[in-house]
């Protein structure tokens, strides 16, 4: 598992656009090589995006000063990227779970209304896939994911982002209280803060401050 406290090792750096993480050019090639090796090791087969370009809306792209959950000005919706050959490094580095071949065809993002990625250092440290969706699709996304497992022992749940702010998040995890027939329980961002507060308060002040600072950077 990549070290959450070493952004460069995880392939990122803090950008000048709202402090959002961006791909580190110095580690881009190495991380791309490592990802391809991981895909091969897992026996997955990469897929073409086809008409799907949901990531062009939901992913932030600091180099283009584009926030999450807004269409990229370079996207020809339903067709593809107008500047594909010159697209920013973040776009080159990005690959959702469907494109990596991790999921079945039924998970194609433009069909289910969300996509999953392994691009958040903090979430990966916690064993959670990052999921991007939109507010009007949130309820369906949660219902769908509560009954999904992928057979990767280290992955225990999902961090669902449905808006540009960190507070616009829900978390599904095996350790949360859950209903019969569901693999995961659920907490909102506020509920998660309240849940971890007792543990955080037991930490030395300097370590607590460091954890909060890094969480803000990587989420």
Q: Is residue 2 part of a domain?
A: no
Task: Give the model's pLDDT for residue 151.
Answer: 76
- The residues, ordered by sequence, that sit 6+ positions from 136 with a Cβ below 8 Å of its Cβ are none
Pairwise CA distance, residues 148 & 165, whole Å: 26
Q: Print the SS3 string covering the chain.
A: CCCCCCHHHHCEEECCCCCCEEECCCCHHHHHHHHHHHHHHHCCCCCCCCCCCCHHHHCCEHHHCECCCCCCCCEECCCEECCHHHCCHHHHHCCCHHHHCCCCHHHCHHHHCEEEECCCHHHHHCCEEEEEECHHHHHHHHHHHCCCCCCCCCCCEEEEECCCCCCCEEEEECCCCCCCCCCCEEEEHHHHHHHHHHHHHCCCHHHHHHHHHHHHHHC
Q: Is residue 88 part of a domain?
A: yes
Q: Is residue 77 part of a domain?
A: yes
Radius of gyration of the chain (CA): 17
Read off the tokens for 203. Answer: 């930490």
Q: Is residue 140 part of a domain?
A: yes
Pairwise CA distance, residues 136 & 30, whole Å: 38
Q: Is residue 45 part of a domain?
A: yes
Q: Is residue 37 part of a domain?
A: yes
Number of domains in the chain: 1
**Which domain covers residue 37, as residue numbers?**
7-218
Task: Give the model's pLDDT for residue 181.
Answer: 85
Q: Is residue 122 part of a domain?
A: yes
What does each of the 219 residues of the chain score in pLDDT, given as a tens digit?
344 457 788 888 989 998 888 999 999 999 999 999 999 999 999 999 988 999 999 999 999 999 999 999 999 999 999 999 999 999 999 999 999 999 999 999 999 999 999 888 778 877 899 999 999 999 999 999 998 887 788 889 999 999 999 899 999 999 899 888 889 999 999 998 898 888 888 878 887 777 666 666 555
Q: Is residue 40 part of a domain?
A: yes
List, for residues 196-212, the tens digit of each pLDDT value: 888 888 878 887 777 66
């Amino acid at each position: 598992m990549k070290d959450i406290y070493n952004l460069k090792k995880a392939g990122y750096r803090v950008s000048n656009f709202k402090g959002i993480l961006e791909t580190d050019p110095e580690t881009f090639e190495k991380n791309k090589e490592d990802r391809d090796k991981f895909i091969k090791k897992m026996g997955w087969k990469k897929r073409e995006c086809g008409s799907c370009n949901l990531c062009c809306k939901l992913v932030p792209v600091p180099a283009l000063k584009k926030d999450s959950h807004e269409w990229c000005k370079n996207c020809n919706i339903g067709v593809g990227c107008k500047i594909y050959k010159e697209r920013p490094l973040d776009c080159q580095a990005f690959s959702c779970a469907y494109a990596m071949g991790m999921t079945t065809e039924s998970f194609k993002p433009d069909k289910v209304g969300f996509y999953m990625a392994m691009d958040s250092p903090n979430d990966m440290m916690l064993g959670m896939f990052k999921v991007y969706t939109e507010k009007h699709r949130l309820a369906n996304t949660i219902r769908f994911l509560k009954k999904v497992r992928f057979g990767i022992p280290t992955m225990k749940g999902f961090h669902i982002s449905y808006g540009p702010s960190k507070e616009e998040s829900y978390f599904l995890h095996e350790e949360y209280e859950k209903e019969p027939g569901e693999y995961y329980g659920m907490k909102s961002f506020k509920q998660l803060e309240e849940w971890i507060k007792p543990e955080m308060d037991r930490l030395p002040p300097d370590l607590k401050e460091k954890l909060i600072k890094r969480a803000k950077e990587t989420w």
